[in-house]
Structure 1
């Protein structure tokens, strides 16, 4: 039995607590795919064994717990601590470097919108901890960023039903599509606000 099959078995056994634990591990930089967790959770919602709203709450809660753990590791241990002990949870240095580049470019805001990006969403809390950003703001951005991804995947899993595993195979592509849509929307409103400002100046 593969590791993913074991994860599904635990989710099936533990229900909401399985979602919390799974997402806590994923957000604490352990390579557990959120597409797998939320996809199967959506399938359990489809079967009527889990409630949609409570599944979302469990997913967001687990993600926040894991993100805080990763933030604390970065805050108190710094990059040397992560480099030394990260191998024990299969943490990739290249993935941390990628998250660091996003954080260096966008700062604390990266903890919000990168929750929709593959790989980066799992590791973005570490550089936030390295930089020792304001903890309350970090928590707020983390919550706001994780909610759309959580709702979207659980809902998709419930729609797909017995075909929920499709999410596990195309999860990264979905992330990129969602991220691209957000960029387009942001540019639209930015240009719109610029036009309004221009009219006012005239």
Structure 2
């Protein structure tokens, strides 16, 4: 079944082109398990072959990510927030925790949203606490787009330069992930240092 799912993703990118990338990346930014690596690395390879344009791949991918993230944000704000305010104590989410989350996102929402978009496993969930805390929508959209655009660029270039060499892709994919996580750690470390100086 997993192989069928992967084959469907690859076929969608190949057959639907930019619309397929937009749809799949929007789904990836919600809670559905669509790995962005399986969308953008093949798209980068198609760009390498001259069948797609890197700029349009990045545009449709970033906009798709933003649409999916805004969906999570809206559901968290309009459904999740009222639910937790009324019933949260039964799920160990007390009002004090919500207030702490609000305060955290007022102060650190920008860096959390940007770096969260670069971390696998967190990237599609970071919009939920942002929505729960009612983070400023303009700031949320801006930093989501920056993080999603950077992630899309990395994966697309990965597929472009390694071409169709699946063995190399499998070999170096872990290094890409580790490099991005190290980059995120540097950003967070610099941010913490800057906050302490202020």
| Stretches of structure 1 lacking an aligned partner (at least 5 in a row) | 83-99, 198-202
Q: 1:90-105 alignment to 2 at 5 Å? A: none
Counterpart of 1:57 (choices 41, 56, 59) is 59
Structure 2 CA distance for aligned equivalents of residues 69 and 166 of structure 1: 35
Q: Taking structure 1 as the reference length, what is the TM-score of the superposition?
A: 0.75
Report if the CA contact (8 A) 2:118-2:184 is conserved: no
Match in the other structure for 1:135: 137
Distance 1:118 1:189 in 2: 21
Kindly state the Cα deviation for residue 177 of structure 1 after the two structures are TM-superposed. Answer: 2.0
Deviation at 1:164, TM superposition (A): 5.0
Query: Structure 1 residue 10: deviation in Å?
Result: 1.2
1:71 correspondence with 2:70 = no
Aligned residue pairs, count: 175
Task: Give the equivalent residue in structure 2 for 1:24.
Answer: 26
* 1:162 counterpart residue number: 164
- Kept in 1, the 8 Å contact 2:102–2:133? The answer is no
Kindly indicate whether the alpha-carbon contact (under 8 Å) linking 1:36 and 1:168 is maintained by their aligned counterparts in 2.
no
2:40 matched to 1:2? no
Residue pair 2:12, 2:20 contacting (<8 A) in 1 also: yes
CA RMSD of aligned residues (A): 3.1
Decide which moves more: 174-183 or 120-129: 174-183
Report the equivalent of 2:48.
Answer: 46
Instruction: Quickly say closer, same or farther: Cα 1:127–1:171, change in 2 above 3 A.
Output: farther
Q: Which runs of 5+ in 2 are unaligned?
A: 85-97
- The whole-number CA distance in structure 1 between the counterparts of 2:69 and 2:121 is 14
In the alignment, the residues of structure 1 paired with residue 104 and residue 163 of structure 2 have an alpha-carbon distance, to the nearest angstrom, of 37
* Structure 1 runs of 4+ with >4 Å offset: 79-82, 103-106, 164-173, 185-191
Q: Is the 8 A contact 1:40 1:165 kept in 2?
A: no
